[in-house]
Amino acid sequence: MRTAGFHMPRQPKIALIWILSIGAWVAIQMSYILVHQLSDVPLELNLLHVFLSVIDDTFTNHILWELSLNAILLFSCLVLCKHLIQQAKLYRQWNSYLLSKKNNEMTKKLTEILNHESLRIEVVSEPKLMAMTIGFWKPRIILSSGMMNRFSKDELGAIVYHELYHYKHRHPLQHFVLTIIAECLAFLPIVKGLVQYYKVWMELLADRYAIYRAGSEYHLAQVLITILRSEKSYKYAHGVHLAKESVNYRLQQLLDPHSSVHMPIFEWKSLLPSTIVLIFMLVIIILGCI
């Protein structure tokens, strides 16, 4: 598979570094809060006594600060558990869907058309237009029979090249992890903006890769416009869908592939509240008021 001559630009790298840096910093602070609080509680085999001791410590020592920080910690933990449970359910639903809808004949036909070695790709019997990459550790490209029947060989090639970029860079896993970070750190709105910015670039780079591999933007543009005219919203396990993110930027890029994409990395109004929360957490830890 050709990759020479195609590189990720600086903008998404910077966004990703900021996301991971803020996430790591908050995780360190929350870990300190948890360890420090548990250090005030006598360890016992009786978990009920330990739990009651934590509650007692919470409501008798620096109540305002401790409640505030504990609320943030509890919120993040609950959001994390919620997403993990939801993903487990969606994963089972998606596997059942694939088993019941897999079209071996069309899968073989698509493999012959594309001639991609060791590429995990499947076609499902589904009249709706659908193309996506799913799977965290062993990604798979999924196309619907509706896509096979609607588009030409060249257009199918453009679709697969787009998904191939997601496939090679494990974007379903990135998408899931970044979504969890954004949701767990909802009290830091700047993180949500950075995550959305990076997700947009996932799609833009997949489009650029498809253009690079196909040698033209024409077929991908035709596919995107067709899907936009007929697309509805579906809820599947975390994957990367062909036409879900930032349609305006994608169309702009397809209409003029050589132009620069001007996209704000985050909204400036989210910077102040995020900075205040980070400083608040840091000051409380430094002063030991927990």
pLDDT digits (tens, 9 = 90+) for 142-161: 998 888 888 888 888 889 89
Among 32-36, 99-103, 216-220, 247-251, the least confident range: 32-36
Contact 67, 58 (CB under 8 A): yes
Per the domain annotation, does 4 fall within a domain?
no
Comparing 35 with 269, the larger pLDDT belongs to: 269
Let me know if residue 27 belongs to a domain.
yes
Strands (E), 99-252: 121-124, 131-134, 140-144, 239-241
pLDDT of residue 63: 53
| Domain assignment present for 232 | yes
pTM of the model: 0.81
Domain limits at 117? 10-287
The type of residue at 21 is S
Whether residue 91 lies inside any domain: the answer is: yes
Residue 2 lies in a domain: no
At residue 29, the pLDDT reads 82
Instruction: Specify if 1 maps to a domain.
Output: no
Q: Take residue 206 and report the two structure tokens written for it.
A: 């997949």
> Number of folded domains in the chain?
1
Q: What are phi and psi of 5, to 5 degrees?
A: 90, 0
Give mean pLDDT, residues 30-56. Answer: 64
Beta-bridge mates of residue 134: 140, 239
Q: pLDDT tens, 179-227? A: 999 999 999 999 999 999 999 998 889 988 988 888 888 888 888 888 7
In a domain, 194, yes or no: yes
Degrees (nearest 5) of the Cα angle 218, 222, 225? 135
Q: What is the mean pLDDT of the chain?
A: 79
Dihedral sign (CA 151, 157, 158, 160): positive
- Please indicate whether residue 60 or residue 17 has the higher confidence score (pLDDT): 17
Taking Cα atoms as reference points, which of 136, 234, 141, 130 lies closest to residue 176? 136
Count CB-CB contacts under 10 A for residue 280. 14
State the pLDDT confidence band at 2, using cuts at 50, 70 and 90. very low
Residue 19 reports pLDDT greater than 90: yes
- 49 has a pLDDT exceeding 70: no
* Per-residue pLDDT, 73: 80
Of the candidates 168, 116, 125, the one whose C-alpha atom is nearest the C-alpha of residue 143 is 125
Tell whether 5 is covered by a domain. Answer: no
